[in-house]
Amino acid sequence: MKIKHLAITLFTASLALTACSKSSDTATTKSKDTIVVDNGDDAPTTDPVLDQDSTSSRMVFDLFSGLTSFDQSNKIIPGLAEKWDVSPDGKIYTFHLRSGLKFSDGTPITAEDVVFSWQRVADPKVGSPYNMLASNIVNGQAIIDGKMQPNQLGVKAVDQNTITINLNHPDASFLQICAMPNTVIVSKKNLQKFGIDWANPKNMVTSGAYTIKEWIAKGHLTLIKNPNYYDAINVSIPNVILLPIVDTNASLNQYQTKQIDITNSLPIDQYKNISQQYPNEIHTVTQEGLYYYDLNMSLPKFKSNPQLRQALSMAVDRQVLVKDVLGQHQIPAYSFVTSTVEGGKFAGLNYDWATWSRDKQITKAQELFKAAGYGPSNPLEITISYNTMDSHKKIALAIASMWQQVFGNNSIKVTQGNQEWKTFLKVRNLANYDVARDGWIADYDSVDSYTNLYQCGNPQDNSKYCNQEYNSLISQAQNSTTPEQRVSLIKQAINIAQNDYPIIPLYQYTYSRLVDQRVTGYTPETNHLDHVQSKWYKLK
């Protein structure tokens, strides 16, 4: 969709929306019973197990609850389970549900719903892109591979309020996995009644703080408070409106005219001015995540040419990218994991050429490019694919310019492939691209959230990279007997993947948004995962 058309559509939708409540736009956003939030785009799915993107996750966190939950510092707290026990060997988790739990339709939430929800994660017929979350549960991988039935998963109901989950090996991150959007609890009865149509808003039954009142594609998503939610007494705002604003300039305009209370992101070329204009409303937070480019390893030109992959990575000036193109305090990335994950345990794994002078990097990149067989007589032709957003376009144009400057206009020809979000996800998942924009926000504070990305067959391995030695080291790390051995093995694995150059790491994310001063209860500065629940918000 064209950006200009999108801005007009969203503005019109917002006017129509506000006209239904009181007399004006300002009246709506100033109402203490409604908050309007920019969600960046339409969520591709309402089914939690199919969620693989931040727009869907933002919605799922409002609609559903997991066994555990999280606070605004990303610390694990009780969710539907009021408490849990862990066996001495770290392999058996026993969860005790809160008493009197109910879904939004008033039916009880039981241990059977928990078992059913986890089975859906592993079930190959459901096809969760996050099925790896169940791979460490007993029989999980065999079920994912289609060798066993979902009812053989090591998640069992002891009684109506008690569940045991048996793991193959200890996982210090498991309680964080239980708070992820893909592992939330859904109603077994409701899914069996409606089948694949259960996720239609008119049929949906939720376990979280809100339910869906109305969803108009490319218009708005209206959520209303779930009176049966276990913590409903502390949910302050009855109505939440999420808008799919792709154009960051349109989002800024709507914020300035009081049509929205919270932006999703900001126009990168206006960041400095916005910081000066709204010093008390702008929030810029270092995020636990990486922005990178996938190189399609299923294509012969990349699969069989490591010199080309390295040349393309070395030719990118990350310092220029973060300072001159982006300018929102992003950190240049020269590794497949951040230096901040797990308190910095994996810092220092950067490419050795990261500290070289720019001239030396360029010289080496040119040598590799020539050795890869490309030049004026055989130019490399590639397309950079990305989803519609101003920042993605600017990054793609900047990197294309860097490649052309380093290798020569006659040696490389770069075209742009802009696609709508849902289409882009499908194209990238199916590897129908040359080079694709990618980004990964850690689901929890564990290096596993990154290392899983590069394992053979992982649904999120969008570059289609596979190195069995890497897989073996990660497997050994997961079954290691000491924390020191685990870290050592993972570092070895990361170095192997990095030297294969299946992706081009570009920078560690920050996120910036404007929050109207009438909004309280929201403290993004400590939320480095940017997992948000509307139940935190309060309005003055």
Domain ranges of the chain: 1-63+208-262+515-540, 65-190, 286-510
Query: How far is CA 89 from each of CA 10, 92, 168, rounded to the nearest angstrom?
Result: 53, 8, 11
The beta-carbon contacts of 355-361 under 8 Å, at least 24 apart in sequence, are: 358/317, 361/314, 361/315
In angstroms, the CA 518 to CA 533 distance is: 17
pLDDT of residue 529: 93
pLDDT of residue 370: 98
Residue 284's DSSP bridge partners are 512
**Residue 12: Cβ-neighbour burial (10 angstroms; 0-12, 13-18, 19+):** exposed
Residue 411's DSSP bridge partners are none
Which secondary structure element, helix H or strand E, spans residue 97, and what is its range? strand 92-97
pLDDT of residue 429: 93
**Residue 361: Cβ-neighbour burial (10 angstroms; 0-12, 13-18, 19+):** buried
Q: Which fold has domain 1-63+208-262+515-540?
A: D-Maltodextrin-Binding Protein; domain 2 (3.40.190)
Instruction: Let me know if domain 65-190 sits in CATH 1.20.840.10.
Output: no
Whether 538 and 519 have beta carbons less than 8 Å apart is answered as yes
**Per-residue pLDDT averaged across 285-299, rounded?**
96
- Count the Cβ atoms, other than its own, within 10 Å of residue 264: 24
Task: Give the DSSP letter of residue 257.
Answer: T
In angstroms, the CA 335 to CA 355 distance is: 13
Q: What is the largest CA-CA distance in the chain?
A: 73
pLDDT of residue 268: 85
In angstroms, the CA 506 to CA 487 distance is: 24
Q: Please check the confidence at residue 227 and state whether its pLDDT lies above 60.
A: yes
The CATH superfamily assigned to 286-510 is: Dipeptide-binding Protein; Domain 3 (3.10.105.10)
**Residue 348: Cβ-neighbour burial (10 angstroms; 0-12, 13-18, 19+):** exposed
**Residue 408: Cβ-neighbour burial (10 angstroms; 0-12, 13-18, 19+):** middle
Q: Please check the confidence at residue 184 and state whether its pLDDT lies above 90.
A: yes
Asked if domains 65-190 and 286-510 share a fold, the reply is: no
Q: How confident is the model over 37-71, as pLDDT tens digits?
A: 999 999 999 999 999 899 999 999 999 999 999 99
Whether 259 and 37 have beta carbons less than 8 Å apart is answered as no
Q: Which of 389, 385, 386, 43 is nearest to 249 (CA)?
A: 389
Q: Which of 90, 85, 84 is nearest to 169 (CA)?
A: 90
Q: How confident is the model over 250-268, as pLDDT tens digits?
A: 999 999 999 999 999 999 8
Q: How confident is the model over 297-332, as pLDDT tens digits?
A: 999 999 999 999 999 999 999 999 999 999 999 999
Residue type, 515: V
